[in-house]
Amino acid sequence: MHLKWRYILPVCTFLILLPLYCLAFQGKVVGVSDGDTITVMHDGKGEKIRLYGVDCPEKAQDFGQKAKQFCSDMVFGKTVDVESVVTDRYGRTVGIVRINGKCLNEELLRNGFAWQYKQYCDKSFCSEWKKLEEQARSSKAGLWSQPNPTAPLDFRHGGKGRNSQPAMLSSGDFHGNVSTHVFHSSTCKAYNCKNCTEVFKNREDAIKAGYKPCGSCRP
């Protein structure tokens, strides 16, 4: 190899990989909203992270709380590595979270607490993640112990999927729309909208979870 290439190639490789390294940061997990959404300290403030490529049951669904607990047991109060993949329309970082050599996204799939989110999982490794879901399904792990679990996407759209049941709302002072991330008071006409499946006992909990107050009812 020509002498100059011995120096040029390592530099080129570094420049190519540099953007990937810039996407990653470390931080302590200070909040777990549900199975696939956590809050990580970054640059002195909490940053909401939506896990890439997986979709956990909503908290009002069967195994929703168990998925949240599994996520919490794995990362809450601990320092994790976050690799940002995209930013969603709500301004949240959508990424891959790793801790102690394990990938949280993958562990949720492997243990039967999530679906592989095929609508938004388009990376080369997504086919492998689908296999993790299928393996958990075959072994009846977690939510797959149920005969016909309702996919979160179907639940959020009022249970219109093939094997789904209509979404049942719990009683609460505020209902949050999981699609728009806006919450409404019980007097609001949008209180029981088809996507208003997140329930909060008070205004503070809704805001902490990343929801904004409705501009009409002003809860």
137 assigned to active site: no
Residues of the domain holding 96: 23-146
CA dihedral of residues 51, 175, 162, 131 (deg, nearest 10) = 10
**Per annotation, catalytic residue among 6, 47, 89, 92:** 92
Do residues 133 and 27 both lie within one domain? yes
41, 119: one domain: yes
- Based on the fold, state whether residues 53 and 112 are members of the same structural domain: yes
What is the rounded distance in angstroms from the CA atom of residue 200 to the CA atom of residue 173? 6
Domain membership flag for residue 185: yes
Q: Which of 50, 98, 110, 156 is catalytic?
A: 50
Shared-domain flag, residues 129 and 161: no
Single out the residue in 115, 146, 177 at which a domain terminates. 146
Residues contacting residue 24 through CB under 8 Å, at least 6 positions apart: 81, 82, 83, 84
The predicted structure's pLDDT at residue 158: 64
| Helix, strand, or coil (residue 128) | helix
| pLDDT score recorded for residue 140 | 95
Q: Per-block average pLDDT, block size 10, for the chain (219 residues)?
A: 49 42 79 95 94 93 94 97 89 93 97 92 93 96 91 72 39 77 85 79 84 87
Which is catalytic among the residues 47, 58, 107, 133? Answer: 58
pLDDT reported for residue 73: 97
Same domain for 63 and 141: yes
Largest CA distance in the chain: 76
**Residue 198 placed within a domain:** yes
Residue 25 confidence (pLDDT): 93
Beta-bridge partners for 49: 38, 93
Supply the pLDDT for residue 142. 95
Pair 200, 112 in one domain: no
Tally of domains in the chain? 2
Query: Does the active-site annotation cover 58?
Result: yes
Question: Looking at the structure, do residues 100 and 56 belong to the same domain, yes or no?
Answer: yes
Is 14 within a domain? Answer: no
In a domain, 13, yes or no: no
Predicted model pTM: 0.64
At 148 the pLDDT is: 85
Tell me what pLDDT residue 183 has: 87
Contacts of the segment 36-45: beta carbons below 8 A, 24+ positions apart: 36/67, 36/71, 36/108, 36/114, 37/92, 37/210, 38/71, 38/75, 38/76, 38/97, 40/80, 40/82, 40/97, 42/82
Looking at the fold, whether 127 and 186 belong to one and the same domain comes out as no
